[in-house]
Homo-oligomer: A and B are copies of this chain.
Amino acid sequence: MKSRPLPEQPPLHQVISEKLRQQIRDGQYGPGSQLPSESQLIEQFRVSRITVRQAIANLINQGLVTAYRGKGVFVNQQRKVTYSLSHPLVFFDQDMARQGVSSSIQNLLFERVSAPEDVQQALQLEEATEVYLQKKFLLIDRVPVALDITYILTSLGEQFASELQSHLTFPILEQHGISVCRITATVEITRASPELSELLEVPLGDSLLTYRYTAYSDRDQPIVWGETLSRGDRLAYSVVLSKQSS
């Protein structure tokens, strides 16, 4: 057992995880299907359990599979939904329906709070002004996809309180004649906090696709600041950029 006369370069666990990765890519293990159990892999590759576990850990970190205690290791679905930033005014549901998936929005929180510092700045508010804070939870095909956090001016929040709790923000404003004429936004990768990790059912510290924006009214006043944290394996953003003036 000790004899290892050929010092191959790639470590064992990587050889194993690469082999499995290939088999997954080639469809030998399709989405949703179960990988061989640890004990089977130990026999198959003649290695210790720790080595097998590290191989599987590689695949988990690469987002390819998920392990469930007592059940097994399963290949993840890869299907992604695209959300258009350029036409945020279509109903979310319509957008999703067009892509052939069912979606739902779940209200987690809707309350009046004093604005945190960064929101204060973004919305150009006085010290300690109150705003409405809303947290919404987006599900697609019953799988959690994103958490949306919105801070909205109190006047608007009061006015549309009930609607805000079951729909996306922009369509509501639009329907009531409050037009958003400009949005400044950033897109980046952030890491899942413990709270988000639980909500979105991803490992702690997993990469999230994060969209942050400030929306301005037609009088160029900022009225909404928001942040959408999405599972990177489930959501993509699309955008159309048109040249207006150099």
Contacts and interface: CB of A to CB of B under 8 A. Distances in A.
Interface in A219-238: 232-233, 235-238
Nearest to A60: B61
A184 B185 CA distance: 17
A234 B79 CA distance: 27
A89 interface: yes
A183 B242 CA distance: 6
Interface in A59-110: 61-64, 80, 82, 85-86, 88-89
A116 to B, nearest CB: 18
Interface range on chain A (Cβ under 8 Å from partner): 35 or more
A186 B204 CA distance: 26
A243 B185 CA distance: 14
A232 B57 CA distance: 21
A120 interface: no
Interface of A: 14, 50, 57-58, 61-64, 80, 82, 85-86, 88-89, 179-189, 191, 203-205, 207, 209, 232-233, 235-244, 246
Closest 10 CB pairs of A and B: A62-B205, A189-B232, A188-B236, A207-B207, A183-B241, A186-B238, A187-B237, A181-B243, A187-B187, A184-B240
